[in-house]
Amino acid sequence: MEDLTAIAAEAAREGLDEGEEITRRKKVAEGWRGLGVSPYGGKFLKDTEAQEVTDRFEQLEGKHVSLAGRIMTIRSHGKASFADLRDQSGKIQLYFKQDILGDAEYGKFLMVDLGDIVGARGKVFRTRRGEISVQVEQLTMLTKALRPLPDKWHGLKDVDARYRQRYVDMIANPDVRKTFLVRSAIVAGIRRFMEARGFVEVETPSMHTIAGGAAAKPFITHHNALDMDLYLRIATELHLKRLLVGGMEKVYEMGRIFRNEGISTKHNPEFTSIEAYQAYADYYDMMELTESLVADAAKNAVGSTKVSYQGQEIDLTPPWPRRTMAQLVRELLGEDIAAMSDEQARKAAARLGLEVDKDATMGMCLNAAYDELVEPKLIQPTIVMDYPIEVSPLAKKREEDPRFTYRFEAVCVGRELANAFSELNDPIDQRQRFESQVDERQKGDEEAHMMDDDFVTALEYGMPPAGGLGIGIDRLVMLLTDSASIRDVILFPTMRPKA
RNA sequence: GCGCCACUAGCUCAGAUGGUAGAGCAACUGACUCUUAAUCAGUGGGUCCGGGGUUCGAGUCCCCGGUGGCGUACCA
């Protein structure tokens, strides 16, 4: 013990940040080398998963199996001991008995620390207490863990550590792994769903010369050889629509989007979206696509279209109620803003306690009223149709009332789940919309669109009428895994470096 | 960006009013050949987030800074 303390003290002097425990484990690793065994072994032939031993006990009882995984707990009784081995499938109890292993092999077991990764070969049996176990005959050291595991009972709770060291979080908190497995199942299911519907998955650039397709502040990076700034994409929309021009009729992209904005329980600077475009379709087709995709994802995640989110029961079974924004504002807030002039609308907004610009239009006031006061109340999935044109620069305007567009958002638990429209394919209209966005930008709105001449040029070649859809995958996964924070569904969320 | 809160052993947490820093788990030593949060006896382990200040004396009070959480703003 004294020499360990001395070694730790020496390590500290040398600037190595390690405690006595790490020093001790390093010495144990050297001990393995002394036995002629590398503490960082190579290939190990495992033929059985931990969970399989329990699931297939009837067939496996008395047979030999080879398992590999991490030692999570050890219960030592002198000349016999138990340990729990965990692999990706689950957990199995190992039984080590000196009589069976022999002194040398049992001595090896005594050198195993919690957290070590080992291979074990032995016979499947059931203990007197009834627990299905493996009586180990051969133990193989595969990886020495130098750092101790978090508390076996309480796990790792420090949220800072959980996000920074997700690997430790996953070791200590098995539910975390489960959440990310569900996420993977959802993503894989969406790809199957889209393929079954005839959509082709494509990859468009992540680095854009113009950041378009959404209202958001971009990250800026620099290309040295071309000596020019590039933006990380804030959406995939404008490139996917170029592909419609090129003749692809059903395309989608699922990938990472970057927005240089605040971080919160619902926002991470990089996140995953899916955008899909279907030629010759309109936003009604997108409503059906959205409902079906989400319902299918729910079945993949929880086996049902009814899910529980933060104590609320949410029924995602299609079809979802379809209401226009104007209707919802009128019914829930008692102001028929859509029937008002701009000036009347500004007064109505004031009555509702909203602050709007002096020259705000009816559409802006309606959108503000909806965003602030209606959307948070929409708990069950709802399709909110017909967004004002001012806030929808890429959506086709309505024939009978050009103040509105063929755009909807699907809303659930007070949050946007999907955003879709009948795509604007009139190049002249699109150029005007960009121009008014550029005006907004010059007035100081950093999130207004930039002019994208090449995109307008593409439309001039002719983009077929189309429906388009965007869904935030992270928020969908939050809903389907009952996660309160987006950081709980992103493996490595963005964090400031620790000082 | 602003406000509130948190930061103490490897992990989970206690530490009224300022007075020699504690527990459980983990680790170490010993006992124990069917335990499962194994049990029993003993031992070691601390930059109390960092830096200033007040005080005879600061984990505790004050100021500055760091990181995080929550709320809020921003986020079609």
A12 & A95 share domain: yes
User: Tell me, what CATH number does A301's domain have?
Assistant: 3.30.930.10
A112 & A221 share domain: no
Which of A 73-112 have CB under 7 A of nucleic chain B? 73-80, 82, 93, 95, 97-99
Q: What is the interface pTM, i.e. ipTM, of the complex?
A: 0.91
The integer distance in angstroms from the CA atom of A177 to the C1' atom of B47 is: 35
At which of A121, A151, A181 does a domain end?
A151
pLDDT band for A11, please (50, 70, 90 cuts). Answer: very low
Which of A 435-464 have CB under 7 A of nucleic chain B? 447
DSSP characters over A443-457: TT-TTSPPP-HHHHH
Closest-approach nucleotide to residue A129, Cα vs C1': B34
pLDDT at residue A12, as a whole number: 43
A36 & A182 share domain: no
Q: What is the pLDDT of residues A87-126, one digit of tens each?
A: 999 999 999 999 999 999 999 999 999 999 999 999 999 9
Helices A174-196 and A473-481 pack at an angle, to 10 degrees, of 120
A3 touches strand B (CB under 7 A): no
Question: Stretch A472-489: mean pLDDT, rounded?
Answer: 95
Closest-approach nucleotide to residue A24, Cα vs C1': B27
> Which residues face A139 on adjacent strands?
A120
Backbone angles phi, psi at A128, to 5 degrees: -60, -30
A373 touches strand B (CB under 7 A): no
Q: What percent of chain A has pLDDT over 90?
A: 88
Q: Would residue A82 count as lying in a domain?
A: yes
Q: What is the pLDDT of residues A182-202, one digit of tens each?
A: 999 999 999 999 999 999 999
Q: What is the pLDDT of residues A311-350, one digit of tens each?
A: 899 999 999 999 999 999 999 999 999 999 999 999 999 9
User: Tell me, what CATH number does A72's domain have?
Assistant: 2.40.50.140
Among the residues of A65-165, which ranges form H helices?
98-110, 159-164
A150 touches strand B (CB under 7 A): yes
Domains in chain A, number: 2
Sheet of A207-208, strands arranged across: A207-208, A228-232, A220-223
* Under 8 Å between Cβ of A138 and A100: no
Q: Would residue A129 count as lying in a domain?
A: yes
A8 touches strand B (CB under 7 A): no
Query: Cα-Cα-Cα-Cα dihedral of A370, A468, A195, A199, to 10°?
Result: 180
> Distance (Å, rounded) from C-alpha A485 to C-alpha A62?
47
A87 & A212 share domain: no
A143 & A179 share domain: no
pLDDT at residue A18, as a whole number: 61
Domain range for A107: 2-151
Q: How high does pLDDT run on average in chain A?
A: 93
> Distance (Å, rounded) from C-alpha A207 to C-alpha A452?
15
> Distance (Å, rounded) from C-alpha A293 to C-alpha A476?
11
Structure tokens at A257: 């989007």
Closest-approach nucleotide to residue A100, Cα vs C1': B33
Closest-approach nucleotide to residue A158, Cα vs C1': B68
A190 & A74 share domain: no
pLDDT band for A14, please (50, 70, 90 cuts). Answer: very low
Question: Stretch A436-444: mean pLDDT, rounded?
Answer: 88
Single pTM value for the model: 0.92
